[in-house]
């Protein structure tokens, strides 16, 4: 049996023995011997590499160590000098060029002027080569708001509603066509190329704003098909600070279509059907100037118009430093509050982020998009213009298909679920339930 061995060894250093002529008074000479060697188990074993380990005690003489292994695969030199101490020292070598699914044996060797020794023989087996499973070509991301009757008033929060019948039909269509839901963490891992095994036809289902009906009406439908959904939470809504504020409409959001409070969110956050993620803090999803008074402090309300109402996008007369501090503080506080309330169901504390109103600024403010990119794995919006495609890719801005309104149905979902914007490479988007609105609000600038 042929052993793999590096044969060039360090030269032995002769030991000069000095004896006293006064033999009766001289101390006894220290006895020096061949090295003591031990072989330890291999670690970090892959299909083509392994780390061999052992220990050597030079026994006071200049000592050289190495490893020998069988079969003789690889070409890594393992020779090393271990000094001339009198205690054990660790030795190791990273071996490359091994063959997959192969049993190997090896031992540690050492030599000094008193002789050569080796440790016991240890065995390990390299695993089979793992071929990465190709991930899905695309992952559609769906965006819902409230479950209820849509309003014809485009300024009403009910305008974005999907009826329970339409939502049920859409979930039935997904199930019958082989779709299975995934979590935000799986989605971001897919983008990073580290997702592992995913369903053949994955889909990410999301709800914005967290209305009470989202939990009470949608949950039974989701559970029927074994689906999972993500709720993007606005902490100001969950705190109950917007119940008497109409966000610029004639009808305050109250009753069964009101925003869910923490008591409701908490009860569903641990049922296995929902993942809670960040949408905005106390002020971030206010339709300015309709917001709690605390959100308006230091802002020039004269700058708030029907096309400039997004808290995160506009500076409202503040300096860059004050604007950036405001957005950072509001986001940090909102993330901390979600983590405090339902931290066990949130990743990081939020793996993905849905920009309020779909407004991400198109990258016009480099600070804002860079800040969001530093906080979240993905930034979702409902519209990406072709002119903003490169910026969106660079800053992990991804498209969601928005569903709701009177016109949306299972047939609409079927017609739009295959979209180049859902591919790993991503692209601009030209379809959506509310493309015009999303395009309008996403062009805000902080100038």
**Where residue 278 sits, what CATH number does that domain have?**
3.20.20.370
In the chain, how many domains are there? Answer: 2
pLDDT of residue 255: 47
Q: Do 354 and 400 meet the contact criterion of CB atoms below 8 Å apart?
A: yes
How crowded is the C-beta side of 143, counted as CA atoms within 13 Å? 27
Q: Is residue 447 part of a domain?
A: no
pLDDT of residue 173: 97
Q: Is residue 136 part of a domain?
A: no
- End of a domain among 74, 106, 130? 130
Judged by average pLDDT, the poorest of 135-149, 279-293, 346-360 is 346-360
pLDDT at 390 over 60: yes
pLDDT of residue 409: 87
Same domain, 33 and 168: no
pLDDT of residue 131: 59
> For the chain, what percent of residues have pLDDT higher than 70?
83
Q: Is residue 192 part of a domain?
A: yes
Confidence of residue 134 (pLDDT cuts 50, 70, 90): low
pLDDT of residue 180: 97
Convert the pLDDT of each residue in 301-353 to its tens digit.
Answer: 999 998 899 999 999 999 999 999 999 999 999 999 998 988 755 544 578 99
Which one is predicted more confidently, 20 or 314? Answer: 314
Tokens of 185: 């963490």
Same domain, 331 and 416: yes
Q: Which residue carries 């990410």 as its tokens? A: 204
- CA 13, CA 125: separation in Å to the nearest integer? 38
pLDDT at 43 over 70: yes
CATH code at position 115: 2.60.40.10
Tokens of 234: 């606005």
SS3 (DSSP) at 192:
helix
Q: Do 259 and 253 meet the contact criterion of CB atoms below 8 Å apart?
A: yes
CA-to-CA dists, residue 129 to 49, 98, 265, angstroms: 11, 11, 45
Tokens of 170: 């859409």
- End of a domain among 130, 154, 184? 130
pLDDT at 433 over 60: no
Same domain, 178 and 219: yes
53-81 mean pLDDT: 89
28-55 mean pLDDT: 88
Tokens of 177: 């066509």
- CA 438, CA 406: separation in Å to the nearest integer? 18
Same domain, 98 and 195: no
Confidence of residue 133 (pLDDT cuts 50, 70, 90): low
Termini Cα distance of the chain = 78
Confidence of residue 245 (pLDDT cuts 50, 70, 90): low
Confidence of residue 432 (pLDDT cuts 50, 70, 90): low
77-106 mean pLDDT: 91
- CA 39, CA 401: separation in Å to the nearest integer? 60
Residue 211's closest CA among 274, 148, 167, 142? 148
Same domain, 431 and 289: yes
pLDDT of residue 179: 97
Same domain, 149 and 281: yes
pLDDT of residue 371: 93
- CB neighbour class for 425 (10 Å; exposed up to 12, middle 13-18, buried from 19): exposed
How far from the centroid of its chain's Cα atoms is residue 84's Cα?
A: 49
pLDDT of residue 231: 95
Same domain, 225 and 352: yes
Same domain, 240 and 125: no
Measured at the CA of 307, the angle between CA 302 and CA 311, to 5 degrees, comes to 70
Partners of 198 in beta bridges: none
Q: Is residue 401 part of a domain?
A: yes
The pLDDT mean for the chain works out to 83
pLDDT at 15 over 60: no
Same domain, 151 and 7: no
Which one is predicted more confidently, 371 or 1? Answer: 371
Same domain, 207 and 349: yes
Q: Is residue 384 part of a domain?
A: yes
- CB neighbour class for 79 (10 Å; exposed up to 12, middle 13-18, buried from 19): middle
Same domain, 229 and 364: yes
Kindly give the pairing relationship between strand 180-181 and strand 122-125.
unpaired
- CA 124, CA 432: separation in Å to the nearest integer? 56
DSSP one-letter code for 220: H
The model's pTM is 0.68
Domain that includes residue 25, residue range: 1-130
25-50 mean pLDDT: 82
pLDDT at 279 over 60: yes
Which one is predicted more confidently, 427 or 333? Answer: 333
Count other C-beta atoms under 10 Å from residue 375's C-beta: 17
Convert the pLDDT of each residue in 151-173 to its tens digit.
Answer: 887 777 788 899 999 999 999 99
Q: Is residue 446 part of a domain?
A: no
Q: Is residue 271 part of a domain?
A: yes
pLDDT of residue 319: 96
Q: Do 64 and 113 meet the contact criterion of CB atoms below 8 Å apart?
A: no
pLDDT of residue 3: 47
Q: Which residue carries 């014809």 as its tokens? A: 152
Q: Is residue 190 part of a domain?
A: yes
pLDDT of residue 430: 62
pLDDT of residue 172: 97
Judged by average pLDDT, the poorest of 116-120, 158-162, 216-220, 312-316 is 158-162
> For the chain, what percent of residues have pLDDT higher than 90?
57
103-125 mean pLDDT: 94
pLDDT of residue 428: 78
pLDDT at 300 over 70: yes
- End of a domain among 130, 151, 180? 130
Q: Which residue carries 């269509």 as its tokens? A: 173
Which segments of 172-214 are extended strands (E)? 180-181, 202-208
Same domain, 149 and 125: no
Identify the H or E element spanning 50: strand 50-57
Convert the pLDDT of each residue in 249-272 to its tens digit.
Answer: 444 454 444 889 999 999 898 888
pLDDT of residue 322: 96
């Amino acid at each position: 049996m042929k052993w793999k061995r590096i044969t060039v060894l360090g030269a032995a250093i002769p030991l000069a023995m000095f004896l006293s002529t006064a033999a009766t008074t001289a101390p006894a000479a220290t006895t020096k011997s061949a090295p003591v060697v031990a072989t330890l188990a291999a670690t970090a074993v892959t299909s083509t590499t392994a780390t061999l380990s052992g220990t050597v005690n030079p026994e006071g003489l200049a000592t050289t160590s190495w490893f020998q292994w069988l079969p003789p695969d690889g070409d890594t030199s393992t020779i090393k000098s271990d000094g001339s101490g009198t205690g054990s020292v660790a030795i190791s070598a990273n071996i490359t060029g091994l063959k997959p699914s192969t049993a190997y044996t090896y031992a540690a060797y050492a030599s000094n002027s008193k002789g050569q020794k080796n440790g016991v023989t240890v065995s390990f087996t390299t695993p089979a080569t793992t071929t990465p499973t190709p991930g899905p070509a695309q992952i559609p991301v769906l965006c819902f708001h409230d479950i209820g009757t849509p309003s014809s008033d485009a300024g009403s929060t009910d305008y974005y509603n999907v009826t329970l019948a339409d939502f049920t039909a859409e979930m039935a269509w997904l199930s019958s066509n082989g779709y299975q839901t995934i979590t935000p963490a799986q989605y971001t891992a897919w983008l990073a190329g580290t997702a592992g095994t995913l369903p053949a036809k994955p889909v990410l289902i999301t709800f914005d704003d967290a209305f009470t009906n989202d939990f009470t009406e949608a949950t039974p439908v989701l559970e029927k098909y074994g689906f999972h959904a993500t709720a993007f939470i606005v902490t100001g809504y969950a705190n109950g600070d917007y119940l008497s504020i109409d966000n610029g409409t004639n009808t305050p959001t109250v009753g069964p279509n009101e925003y869910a409070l923490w008591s409701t969110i908490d009860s569903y956050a641990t049922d296995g059907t929902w993942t809670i993620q960040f949408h905005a803090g106390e002020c971030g999803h206010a339709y300015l100037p309709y917001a709690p008074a605390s959100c308006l402090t230091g802002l020039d309300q004269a700058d708030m118009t029907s096309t400039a109402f997004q808290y995160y996008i506009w500076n409202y007369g503040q300096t860059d430093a004050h604007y950036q501090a405001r957005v950072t503080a509001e986001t940090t506080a909102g993330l901390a509050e979600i983590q405090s309330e339902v931290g066990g169901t949130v990743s990081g504390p939020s793996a993905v982020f849905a920009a309020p109103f779909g407004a991400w600024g198109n990258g016009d403010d480099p600070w804002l998009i860079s800040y969001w990119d530093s906080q979240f794995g993905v930034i979702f919006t409902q519209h990406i213009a072709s002119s903003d495609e490169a910026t969106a890719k660079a800053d992990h801005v991804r498209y969601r298909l928005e569903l709701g309104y009177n016109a949306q149905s299972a047939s609409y979902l079927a017609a739009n679920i295959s979209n180049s914007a859902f591919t790993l490479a991503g692209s601009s988007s030209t379809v959506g339930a509310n493309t015009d609105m999303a395009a309008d609000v996403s062009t805000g600038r902080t100038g």
